[in-house]
Amino acid sequence: MMSAKVEHLRGLLESVRAGDLSIEAALRQLDGWLAEDIGFARVDHARFQRQGMPEVVFAAGKTPEQVARIMEVIASRAGAAMATRASPEHFAAVRERLPAAAYHAVGRVVTVGGPLYQPDDARYVLLISAGTSDLPVAEEAAATLSFLGARVERLTDVGVSGLHRLLAARELIVQAAVLIVVAGMEGALPSVVGGLVSRPVIAVPTSVGYGASFGGLAALLTMLNSCAPGVAVVNIDNGFGAGVLAHRIMRVA
């Protein structure tokens, strides 16, 4: 995907050098190359070069038609596109324009194309979730990692109320390159995991819990106050952000 972009730019520069294209015409093409105004959105086509992945659509609050159009424009340049917090209605609209689109229902993610990078099967990100209610956030992270190109292993329903479930998978845990730990309620699980490993741990608080959890704030504060070193924390319910961070760590490790 990156090579196609480079070849397009190379051809543009060669046309200017050969005199087949004026500088003004080339600038007009480059303006559209960097960002494209489609009326209700300005699609950032240069994000792949800056951040290593195309712009990702946050579908919540957008109409199905808006999400479908933005993804169509992104995919036309990048060869792949992704939307988070997408409903079945969003997916239906996307699939009308992009028949190859896939819907990751639990994680509420729509993807077209991918993976963006060749997966390294020798290393994996371990996705640990405390309870079944945390799966939507965990699966958002999993879909993000798969789209980017990372091997994902899962360890589900291993919250601290039954710690033996976590310890029974100790070998899977200690061999992971990066760990994403998703938990609601009191949010203690990342601290426990952080005390078992020497790898980076990304903690994801979820909004799962009763009233005093304050929509995930209690879990967030617990994770921020972790006594285990090497634990980083993303925002409440931000499985997408955790997935991107884990993939970047994998790429530079």
**Where exactly are the structural domains of the chain?**
1-31, 41-114, 125-252
The residue with tokens 């051809």 is 11
Q: For position 119, what pLDDT does the model report?
A: 86
State the DSSP string of 208-243: -S-GGGGGGHHHHHHHHT-SSTTEEE--TT-HHHHH
pLDDT per residue rounded down to tens, the chain (253 residues): 444 566 777 887 888 899 888 888 777 666 666 778 889 999 988 888 888 899 999 999 999 999 999 999 999 988 999 999 999 999 999 999 999 999 999 999 999 998 999 888 889 999 999 999 999 999 999 999 999 999 999 999 999 999 999 999 999 999 999 999 999 999 999 999 999 999 999 999 999 999 999 999 999 999 999 999 999 999 999 999 999 999 999 998 7
Phi-psi group of 216: left, alpha or beta (phi > 0 → left; psi -120 to 50 → alpha; rest → beta): left
As a 3-state breakdown, the chain gives helix, strand, coil percent values, each rounded to 5, of 50, 15, 35
Q: At what angle do helices 135-148 and 239-252 cross, to 10 degrees?
A: 40
Question: The dihedral of CA 56, 79, 77, 63: what is its sign?
Answer: negative
Q: Looking at residue 196, what DSSP letter applies? A: T
Domain 125-252 falls in which CATH fold?
Answer: Rossmann fold (3.40.50)
The contacts of residue 107 (CB under 8 Å, 6+ apart) are: 136, 138, 139, 140, 141, 142, 143, 239
